């Protein structure tokens, strides 16, 4: 230790006295030697004083970042320390040395390069992830402003996304600065970059969701977003509006939306002006009044979505005169989409509240209203100028003309002349509420009620329905589901690996070939790694590009192609399935998940769902091993992941989550996430696109935060109240909660839990390598085929016999010898069996030891091959459909062989040397044979065969 400390001190001295070239070199060496090290490893390397070096690098960075010379190296070196900070020590020291401030300054410094800014953001992310106090520190340092400004000015997609994710992380568990963050995000909406607008609204939804109220300043910029010519921006705005209807800003928001259906005079005039100039290029029109109509169309669309979602909102919209405004929008003669969207929204109201139909008919006239009721979305093609004008200027007021609006809340007045009509409407509203608009209802109810509900109330609700899983393990909020899909798919679109089957699933237009191609990939990927499958898959598809080609192949060819992929029955089932498709289904692959499941051998629930969603676009989730892990972590499901309640819960979860527009991509994205980010060991939570939805992640961080509160005495002297860690309210009786206690060391890896693994079955198999000399003098091996069912079905192997404990090895040898005698048609004796050695081969559930013997036949006068036996040369054997165990046996024989040859050579050399020395030795053939027999366990096959031949001479 003393020695190490001495080395470290001289290292630090060299640093202190070195110029920037020396320091640059030292940083390079540090990075090479220490990347990926843990806190303890770094401490060991630096004799417990690693932070002395961190302080030096941080200070150097603070002094020189504006010149940018070694900024990249400095950031990377600091990254090593911060990532190793499972302990808070480095983080605290970094903070105290002003590291966070420097990182924020780097973001706005004009000389910093894009990758340096990206690295600074990543480091800030690490700091923020360390807990609430660190988040507060970043916010106190004006971090939100710096990050928001960076987001507004950055042009790189990836860095923008990192900045957005950082803002989102800062909003988690940071109540003190939540409002500041929220307002900064609202301000950012006015930024001109559509990408930033989209990112900001997406983050705003997450932040808003955690707040009790919404700020009125959000309304104007949000409604302005509906003018965007970018569909993604419009969609995000619509989603945010949907969420905001659960908050106190709802009345202002709805009335704002309705007024967008009727642009102001000035705006319309501006439009007239633009369209009167026929030569005006389209682009100028776009910057002129087009956005007004785009906004009008988006408002109509949003109104429809809101009304479909909630009868309450629907009624409020009616009382705001939405029908009159929609009719006005229908009169728009310039923008088709505005007319279509208004038609569709109007259709919704008319169908839900038939009382409106009569009024609409009056404004439209008979012919137009017939066309409207027949196909609302094509109405714009049917109207003439006069009809358009009357729609535009309609002054429909759905009231009795005495100031009583049909849809206002005046129905309590028993003398009201509209009471009858109102009752019809209200009945309709009630039935709509019961009919299945539950999603919308839940959303509205949840927004208002959830926030008020006391913990006990939640408990009561959760325990009322024992059979349904607690909401802690589900996604009860549709808005959350929408958000998760979008986070996951955005990530997948950017990060997915290009794999041959993915390419085929997208580029292959023939449905039959596409389904076949995905089927092959799914079967190959069962229990085999992607990297191994790629080569096999390419070769397979080249050789059998269609299901018909595969059906025409022999099982032998299929097994040969499959050799090395393991679990041979999979290849066999693919082959059987292809023959079934050709002979029983007229060559047509099944086209639904159900028929895939029923009609294809080897296709289970997961495989059918995967093929159905990826190749056929069927809306179904798919649960494989990766998805089990991701879902169990996302919803903190810790009971045995193979138990029936967990299995069912996972299927129901994924079926709820799957994106109806992109089911195949969604399923692949979940699997990709499990394979690359949410891995079994060392999950990369800081890079996870669905981190904000992850219960295990929040659980770990809430625990860490509690701990760091104690450790951070230096930064926070005031006691702060941390929210309790959210838990399942039914945990004691819950079939999805872990039965074992939480293990701090495991973190998110507490989920999922697997049942204790059964030890593999131990088996010993007696096997005999039977050789003869072939026609051209080359050795040939006798192989027999395994049964068509069970382990290694249909593969070729050396004659073998499973040893059972009850009979002796001699008895087994006798039985195997008798079997080989029948196979080759020669009466053999077991004394001809020579022991070669043992080979161990481990299957997933069997620990197999082959006890290898060999036997050489004197001539070729053996029985001709039958259907289940064949003689193969060594090279043919290597190509044949044999298992890895057989190849290992051949290898053993070869090594024994070369060992023997070496021994013989050595003996020869010795003999020559002895002769030189005049010592002549008389060695008899018998003696040689004796020696050979003595060492029979090490004999090479060829010398052994030679010996047996000599013996019989
Ligand atoms: Fe998995 Fe971590 Fe992402 Fe949660 S945050 S899903 S545990 S990688
Ligand atoms: Zn539970």
Percent of the chain residues topping a pLDDT of 70: 80
Q: How far is ligand 2, taken at its centre, from the CA of residue 640, in Å?
A: 12
pLDDT of 620 higher than 80 = yes
DSSP at 85 = T
Q: Does residue 751 line the site of ligand 1, with CB under 6 A?
A: no
Q: How far is ligand 1, taken at its centre, from the CA of residue 635, in Å?
A: 10
The confidence score (pLDDT) of residue 415 equals: 30
Query: Residues 214-260: pLDDT tens digits?
Result: 898 999 999 999 988 887 888 889 989 998 988 889 999 998 999 88
Q: How far is ligand 2, taken at its centre, from the CA of residue 734, in Å?
A: 4
Q: In the annotation, is 522 catalytic?
A: yes
Mean pLDDT of the chain: 80
The whole-number average pLDDT for the span 439-459 is 34
Residue with CA closest to ligand 1 atom 4: 694
**The two structure tokens encoding residue 271:** 């439009």
pLDDT band at 697 (very low <50, low <70, confident <90, very high): very high
616 compared with 354, residue with greater pLDDT:
616
pLDDT band at 398 (very low <50, low <70, confident <90, very high): low
Residues 748 and 701: their CA atoms lie apart, in Å, by: 10
The confidence score (pLDDT) of residue 321 equals: 85
Asked if 613 and 629 count as a contact pair (C-beta separation under 8 A), the reply is no
pLDDT band at 711 (very low <50, low <70, confident <90, very high): low
pLDDT of 951 higher than 80 = no
Residue with CA closest to ligand 1 atom 1: 678
Q: Does residue 631 line the site of ligand 1, with CB under 6 A?
A: no
Helix (H, G, I), strand (E, B) or coil at 753: strand
The whole-number average pLDDT for the span 303-312 is 87
The confidence score (pLDDT) of residue 918 equals: 56
Q: Does residue 488 line the site of ligand 1, with CB under 6 A?
A: no
pLDDT band at 935 (very low <50, low <70, confident <90, very high): very low
Of 595, 552, 602, residue with least CA distance to 577: 602
Query: Residues 525-544: pLDDT tens digits?
Result: 987 889 999 999 999 999 99
Catalytic one of 522, 705, 797, 830: 522
Q: Does residue 26 line the site of ligand 1, with CB under 6 A?
A: no
Residues 744 and 750: their CA atoms lie apart, in Å, by: 8
pLDDT band at 807 (very low <50, low <70, confident <90, very high): low
- Range with top average pLDDT, 274-278, 335-339, 608-612, 948-952: 608-612
Q: How far is ligand 2, taken at its centre, from the CA of residue 455, in Å?
A: 16
Residues 254 and 62: their CA atoms lie apart, in Å, by: 50
* Shortest-distance ligand to the CA of residue 165: 1
The whole-number average pLDDT for the span 51-79 is 92
Residues 591 and 468: their CA atoms lie apart, in Å, by: 32
Residues 564 and 887: their CA atoms lie apart, in Å, by: 11
* Shortest-distance ligand to the CA of residue 737: 2
852 compared with 775, residue with greater pLDDT:
852
Antiparallel, parallel or unpaired: β 834-842 and 779-785: unpaired
The whole-number average pLDDT for the span 144-170 is 87
pLDDT of 272 higher than 50 = no
* Shortest-distance ligand to the CA of residue 752: 1
Query: Residues 650-695: pLDDT tens digits?
Result: 999 999 999 988 999 999 999 999 999 999 999 999 999 999 899 9
Percent of the chain residues topping a pLDDT of 90: 33
The confidence score (pLDDT) of residue 393 equals: 74
* Shortest-distance ligand to the CA of residue 749: 1
Residue to mutate (ligand 1; options 165, 495, 625, 633; most atoms within 8 A of CB): 633
SS3 content of the chain, % helix, strand, coil (to 5): 65, 5, 30
The confidence score (pLDDT) of residue 712 equals: 57
Residue with tokens 């237009």: 509
The confidence score (pLDDT) of residue 726 equals: 67
The distance from CA 143 to its chain's CA centroid, rounded to whole angstroms, is: 31
Containing H/E element for 849?
strand 846-856
Asked if 866 and 742 count as a contact pair (C-beta separation under 8 A), the reply is no
Residues 558 and 571: their CA atoms lie apart, in Å, by: 7
Q: Could you identify the atom of ligand 1 that is nearest to the CA of residue 689?
A: 3
The confidence score (pLDDT) of residue 285 equals: 36
Instruction: Calculate the CA dihedral of residues 457, 459, 461, 464 and round it to 10 degrees.
Output: -140
Q: Does residue 670 line the site of ligand 1, with CB under 6 A?
A: no
Helix (H, G, I), strand (E, B) or coil at 478: helix
pLDDT of 413 higher than 60 = no
pLDDT of 947 higher than 70 = no
The confidence score (pLDDT) of residue 489 equals: 95
pLDDT of 597 higher than 90 = yes
Q: How far is ligand 2, taken at its centre, from the CA of residue 474, in Å?
A: 10
Q: How far is ligand 2, taken at its centre, from the CA of residue 205, in Å?
A: 27
Q: Is 790 left (phi over 0), alpha (psi -120 to 50) or beta?
A: left
Compute the half-sphere exposure of residue 398: CA atoms within 13 Å on the CB side of its CA. 30
- Asked which of 57-66, 801-810, 820-829 is least confident by mean pLDDT, the reply is 801-810
Beta-carbon contacts of residue 700 (< 8 Å; ≥ 6 apart):
747, 748
The distance from CA 638 to its chain's CA centroid, rounded to whole angstroms, is: 19
The confidence score (pLDDT) of residue 270 equals: 53
């Amino acid at each position: 230790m003393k020695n190490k400390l001495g080395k470290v001190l001289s290292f630090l001295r060299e640093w202190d006295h070195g110029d920037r070239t020396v320091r640059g070199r030292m940083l390079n060496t540090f990075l090479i030697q220490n990347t990926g090290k843990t806190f303890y490893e770094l401490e060991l390397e630096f004799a417990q004083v690693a932070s002395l070096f961190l302080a030096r690098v941080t200070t150097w960075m603070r002094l020189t970042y504006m010149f940018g010379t070694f900024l990249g190296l400095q950031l990377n070196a600091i990254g090593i320390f911060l990532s190793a900070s499972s302990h808070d020590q480095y983080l605290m020291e970094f903070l105290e040395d002003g590291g966070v401030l420097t990182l924020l300054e780097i973001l706005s410094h004009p000389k910093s390069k894009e990758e340096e800014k990206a690295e600074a953001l990543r480091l800030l992310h690490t700091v923020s992830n360390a807990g609430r106090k660190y988040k507060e520190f970043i916010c106190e340092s004006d971090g939100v402003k710096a990050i928001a400004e960076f987001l507004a000015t950055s042009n790189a997609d990836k860095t923008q996304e990192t900045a957005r994710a950082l803002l989102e992380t800062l909003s988690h568990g940071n109540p003190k600065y939540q409002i500041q963050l929220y307002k900064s995000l609202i301000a950012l909406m006015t930024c001109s970059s559509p990408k930033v607008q989209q990112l900001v609204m997406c983050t705003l939804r997450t932040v808003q969701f955690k707040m009790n109220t919404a700020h009125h300043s959000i309304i104007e910029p949000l409604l302005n977003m509906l003018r965007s010519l970018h569909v993604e921006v419009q969609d995000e705005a619509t989603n945010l509006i949907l969420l905001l209807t659960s908050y106190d800003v709802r009345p202002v928001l709805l009335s704002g939306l309705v007024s967008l259906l009727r642009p102001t005079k000035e705006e319309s005039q501006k439009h007239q002006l633009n369209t009167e100039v026929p030569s005006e290029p389209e682009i100028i029109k776009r910057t002129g009044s087009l956005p007004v109509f785009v906004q009008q169309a988006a408002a109509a669309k949003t109104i429809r979505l809101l009304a479909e979602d909630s009868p309450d909102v629907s009624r409020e919209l009616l009382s705001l005169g939405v029908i009159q405004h929609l009719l006005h929008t229908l009169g728009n003669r310039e923008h088709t989409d505005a007319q279509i969207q208004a038609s569709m929204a109007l259709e919704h109201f008319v169908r839900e509240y038939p009382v409106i139909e009569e009024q609409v008919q009056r404004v439209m006239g008979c012919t137009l209203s017939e066309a409207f009721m027949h196909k609302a979305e094509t109405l714009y093609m049917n109207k003439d100028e006069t009809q358009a004008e009357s729609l535009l200027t309609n002054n429909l007021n759905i009231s009795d003309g005495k100031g009583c609006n049909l849809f206002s809340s005046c129905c309590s007045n028993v003398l009201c002349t509209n009471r009858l009509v109102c009752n019809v409407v209200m009945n309709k509203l009630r039935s709509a509420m019961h009919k299945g608009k539950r999603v919308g209802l839940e959303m509205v109810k949840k927004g208002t009620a959830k926030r008020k509900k006391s913990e006990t109330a939640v408990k009561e609700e959760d325990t009322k329905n024992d059979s349904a899983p607690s909401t802690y393990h589900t996604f009860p909020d549709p808005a959350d589901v929408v958000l998760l899909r979008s986070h996951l798919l955005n990530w997948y679109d950017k990060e997915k690996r290009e794999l041959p089957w993915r390419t085929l699933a997208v580029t292959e237009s023939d449905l039959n070939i596409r389904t076949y191609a995905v089927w092959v990939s799914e079967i190959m990927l069962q229990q085999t790694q992607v990297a191994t499958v790629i080569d096999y898959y390419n070769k397979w598809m080249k050789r059998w590009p269609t299901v018909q080609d595969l059906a025409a192949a022999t099982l032998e060819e299929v097994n040969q192609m499959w050799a090395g992929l393991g679990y041979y029955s999979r290849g066999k089932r693919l082959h059987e399935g292809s023959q079934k498709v050709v002979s029983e289904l007229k060559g047509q692959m099944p086209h639904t998940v159900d028929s895939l499941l029923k009609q294809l051998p080897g296709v289970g629930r997961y495989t059918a769902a995967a093929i159905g969603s990826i190749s056929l676009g069927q809306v179904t989730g798919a649960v494989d091993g990766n998805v089990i892990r991701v879902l169990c972590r996302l919803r903190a499901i810790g009971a045995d992941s193979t138990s029936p309640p967990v299995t069912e819960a996972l299927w129901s979860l994924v079926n709820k989550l799957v994106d109806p527009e992109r089911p195949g991509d969604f399923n692949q994205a979940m699997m990709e996430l499990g394979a690359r980010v949410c891995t079994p060991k060392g999950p990369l939570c800081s890079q996870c696109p669905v981190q904000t939805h992850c219960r295990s992640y929040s659980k770990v961080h809430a625990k860490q935060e509690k701990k760091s509160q104690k450790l951070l005495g230096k930064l926070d002297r005031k006691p702060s109240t941390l929210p309790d860690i959210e838990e399942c309210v039914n945990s004691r009786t819950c079939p999805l909660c872990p039965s074992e206690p939480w293990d701090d060391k495991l973190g998110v890896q507490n989920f999922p839990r697997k049942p204790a693994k059964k030890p593999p079955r131990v088996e010993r198999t007696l096997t005999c390598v039977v050789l003869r000399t072939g026609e051209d003098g080359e050795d040939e091996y006798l192989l027999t085929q395994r049964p068509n069912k069970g382990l290694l079905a249909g593969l070729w192997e050396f004659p073998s016999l499973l040893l059972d404990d009850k009979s002796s090895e001699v008895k087994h040898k006798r039985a195997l010898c008798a079997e080989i005698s029948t196979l080759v048609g020669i009466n053999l004796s077991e004394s001809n069996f020579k022991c070669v050695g043992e080979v161990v081969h481990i299957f997933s559930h069997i620990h197999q030891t082959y006890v290898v013997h060999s036997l050489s036949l004197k001539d070729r006068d053996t029985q001709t091959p039958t259907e289940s036996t064949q003689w193969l040369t060594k090279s043919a054997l290597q190509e044949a459909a044999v298992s890895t165990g057989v190849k290992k046996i051949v290898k053993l024989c070869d090594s024994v062989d070369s060992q023997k040859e070496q021994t013989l050579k050595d003996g020869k050399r010795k003999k020559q040397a002895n002769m030189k020395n005049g010592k002549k030795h008389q060695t008899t053939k018998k003696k040689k044979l004796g020696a050979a027999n003595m060492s029979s366990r090490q004999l090479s096959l060829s010398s052994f065969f030679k010996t047996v031949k000599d013996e019989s001479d």
